Structures are given as structure tokens and as C-alpha cells.
């Protein structure tokens, strides 16, 4: 896959997709301040380059701010007292055991679940008080179970990402077609607009979903297990692509070695709570991995590149 890659240094010195539905609505604390409907929301741009990150408001230091967040589906509390900030252009990984709350957290950050307590602010706006359309202009999400409709062409799927910006009967304009083409080109699918999804490989379909999210031109991109069902070549290619986008990204990953390789900072969710955001070397230390995942960890140097990589083994030695 082509395009610029801004991979995090792993050398020895560094230690729709309209994701704004209301979902289950549990009790939540009031917003810290009234937010006008249009505050912090771009008017309706067709970006000149979908590779460039949308600007964060000059008065806002964080692209994403999570304050005292408690979240879970109706009748359940999965995570509580979650606080962190994500800076513009960062790639932040979310890791944790199965069932720890990675998907629940991302669905809450995307507006699909309403916070049980606390607040999610994107570009300075409290997310859950905005309309679906306005939330979709701030956050784009690709869920782990998302599949593009097989009877649509790739361009039609990507065009769904432009829905938050369209007036009635506004689809199909030259500007919108250009935005779709730019999004497909960004994921190395230039020329695929008319190809039926049913004739595409799993890796190509995953890139179509990513292109749909890019077409939303939202300042925050949420990816829930985007490497599921991909072979190792396509996993690395997809994460190289995400790394090179220059977007603010929060990505849930099962593979700890990929989180260590590609993320600027990592959040560990475990036992109903979340850690502070830390650099991968600290967040994925041997002590943390032994406690949270029950594995032994070591860092080894690649003999050719000199980069350090995370090596994992079961915590109990096999008998014999």
C-alpha cells in the first residue's frame, strides 16, 4: 500500500459509519455547560485533502477529552472513573482482556452509547448533547463487526460517509464525487469506486470502511479491532495506512505487539477501570502484562533494523 507512513519510532531509545446514534441511554450527569447546536462543528466542508487532519479549535488543547466517564449498556456498568485526553494527530491504542470494555468505551466515545456518568468532549463540544448529524461531523467510527453491503459498489459505500454534510437531494454533486474519490485514493483504492463489494477481498473491504470514515472529514477517528480477520500482511499494511493519515485516532487492538509498534500512547482497560495514558513501553511493561494478561514479556532488538519489539510468552511453563 502506498502513501506516507508516520510510524512511531520503535528504536532502543523510546523507552455509516455515522457513529453518533443514541444507543442505550442510562442515567448521566448534566453537561458542564450549555453547548449551542453548532458550536465546534464545521459547517459542511469538502476537504481539499482527506489525508490532512481536520483542525482542532484554537481554544481547545485536546482533540478528545474524557472526564470522569462511566459507561456500559443498559443495566450494566462496565467502566468507571475514566479520565484521559488525546492530543491532535495522536494514535492512541486501547488494549485489555476480552470483555474488559474496549468496545464499550469506543461506542461511548462515538456516541452510540450515552455515558452513565461524566462527559466526552470532541473538539471542545460535549458529544452527547449534539444531534446525530452534528456528532457525525465530529466523530467517525469503524466497528469491529461492520461490513459494507455486498450489493453496493465501493464508491456508494464511501459516499455514505458524506451524509452528515448533505442537504436534501445533495448527493452526486461533482464536489461529493471528488470527496469519495479522494477517500478511496487515501486508502490505496483509487479506481475502485465502481467495483462491487462482493468482488473485493477482506482487506479491500476493510479499507472501504476506512475510506467511508475518512469521507466524514471528522476530527476524531475511532477504530474497533480493524485488523480482525486480516492476515499479517494486510494487518501491517492497514496500520501503516492509519499511521500515515495524520488523523487523531483511537484504536482498540487485541494484538499487543501491534499496539506497541503503532501507537503513540496506550490505555489499558481492566477490571472495570482504565489506566492513565502512557507511552507503549510504560503501558505495556512486563509488570502490567503479567498482571492484566497473565503473560511474560520481554523486548528484543531486530537484528537487521535495530528496532525493539515486544515478545510475549505464557506465564506458566509447559510441563516436560
Residue 33, in any domain of the structure = no
- Rounded to 5 degrees, φ, ψ at 206 are -65, -35
What span, in angstroms and rounded, lies between the C-alpha atoms of 229 and 114?
A: 29
pLDDT band at 70 (very low <50, low <70, confident <90, very high): very high
Residue 39 has pLDDT above 90, yes or no: no
How many whole angstroms from its chain centre is CA 71?
18
CATH number at residue 122: 3.40.50.300
Collect all residues with Cβ–Cβ distance below 8 Å to 18 and sequence separation of at least 6: 132, 133, 135, 136, 160, 163, 164, 216
Average pLDDT of every residue of the chain: 82
Q: Are strands 248-252 and 220-224 parallel, antiparallel or unpaired?
A: parallel
pTM of this prediction exceeds 0.85:
no
Residue 173, in any domain of the structure = yes
Collect all residues with Cβ–Cβ distance below 8 Å to 167 and sequence separation of at least 6: none
HEC sequence for 254-268: CCHHHHHHHCCEEEE
Cell digits for 199?
A: 468482488
Residue 140, in any domain of the structure = yes
Cell digits for 142?
A: 469503524
Residue 73 has pLDDT above 90, yes or no: no
pLDDT band at 60 (very low <50, low <70, confident <90, very high): low
Segments forming the whole domain that contains residue 302? 56-314
Residue 101, in any domain of the structure = yes
Residue 50, in any domain of the structure = no
Strand order, beta sheet including 220-224: 139-142, 220-224, 248-252, 91-95, 265-270, 273-274
- Return the higher-pLDDT residue of 220 and 47: 220
Looking at residue 74, its pLDDT comes to 82
Residue 199, in any domain of the structure = yes
Number of domains in the chain: 1
Looking at residue 8, its pLDDT comes to 56
Residue 267: beta bridge partners? Answer: 94
> Within 10 Å of residue 103's Cβ, how many Cβ atoms?
19
Looking at residue 2, its pLDDT comes to 42
- Characterise 70 by phi-psi region: left (phi > 0), alpha (psi -120 to 50), beta (else): beta
H helical segments located in 191-262: 202-215, 232-243, 256-262
> Within 10 Å of residue 104's Cβ, how many Cβ atoms?
20
Torsion, Cα of 3, 227, 18, 47 (10° steps) = -10
Longest dimension (CA), the chain: 70
Residue whose entry in the numeric block shows the C-alpha cell 456528532: 135
Picking from 50-64, 82-96, 169-183, 202-216, which range would have the lowest pLDDT averaged per residue? 50-64
Nearest partner of 161 among 185, 145, 177, judged by Cα? 177
How many whole angstroms from its chain centre is CA 211?
13
Residue 129, in any domain of the structure = yes
Angle at 128 between CA 131 and CA 72, to 5 degrees: 135
Residue 39, in any domain of the structure = no
- Characterise 162 by phi-psi region: left (phi > 0), alpha (psi -120 to 50), beta (else): alpha
Amino acid at each position: 500500500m502506498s502513501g506516507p507512513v508516520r510510524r512511531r519510532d520503535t528504536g532502543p531509545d523510546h523507552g455509516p459509519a455515522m457513529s453518533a446514534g443514541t444507543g442505550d441511554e442510562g442515567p448521566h450527569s448534566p453537561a458542564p455547560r450549555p453547548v449551542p447546536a453548532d458550536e465546534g462543528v464545521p459547517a459542511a466542508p469538502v476537504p481539499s485533502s482527506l489525508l490532512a487532519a481536520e483542525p482542532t479549535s484554537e481554544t481547545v488543547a485536546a482533540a478528545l477529552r474524557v472526564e470522569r466517564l462511566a459507561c456500559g449498556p443498559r443495566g450494566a456498568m462496565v467502566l468507571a472513573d475514566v479520565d484521559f485526553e488525546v492530543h491532535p494527530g495522536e494514535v492512541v491504542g486501547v488494549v485489555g482482556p476480552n470483555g474488559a470494555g474496549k468496545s464499550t468505551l469506543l461506542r461511548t466515545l462515538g456516541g452510540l452509547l450515552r455515558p452513565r456518568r461524566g462527559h466526552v468532549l470532541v473538539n471542545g463540544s460535549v458529544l452527547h448533547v449534539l444531534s446525530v448529524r452534528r456528532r457525525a461531523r465530529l466523530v467517525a467510527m469503524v466497528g469491529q463487526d461492520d461490513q459494507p453491503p455486498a450489493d453496493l459498489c465501493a464508491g456508494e459505500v464511501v459516499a455514505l460517509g458524506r451524509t452528515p454534510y448533505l442537504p436534501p437531494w445533495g448527493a452526486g454533486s461533482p464536489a461529493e464525487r471528488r470527496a469519495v474519490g479522494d477517500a478511496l485514493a487515501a486508502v490505496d483504492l483509487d479506481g475502485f469506486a465502481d467495483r462491487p463489494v462482493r468482488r473485493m477481498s477482506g482487506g479491500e473491504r476493510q479499507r472501504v470502511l476506512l475510506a467511508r470514515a475518512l469521507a466524514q472529514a471528522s476530527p476524531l477517528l475511532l477504530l474497533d479491532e480493524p485488523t480482525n480477520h486480516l492476515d499479517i500482511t494486510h494487518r501491517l499494511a492497514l496500520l501503516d495506512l492509519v499511521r500515515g493519515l495524520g488523523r487523531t485516532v483511537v484504536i482498540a487492538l487485541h494484538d499487543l505487539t501491534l499496539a506497541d509498534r503503532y501507537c503513540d500512547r496506550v490505555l489499558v482497560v481492566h477490571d472495570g477501570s482504565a489506566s492513565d495514558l502512557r507511552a507503549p513501553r510504560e503501558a505495556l511493561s512486563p509488570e502490567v502484562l503479567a498482571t492484566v494478561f497473565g503473560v511474560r514479556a520481554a523486548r528484543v532488538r531486530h537484528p537487521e533494523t535495530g528496532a525493539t519489539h515486544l515478545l510475549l510468552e505464557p506465564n506458566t511453563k509447559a510441563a516436560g
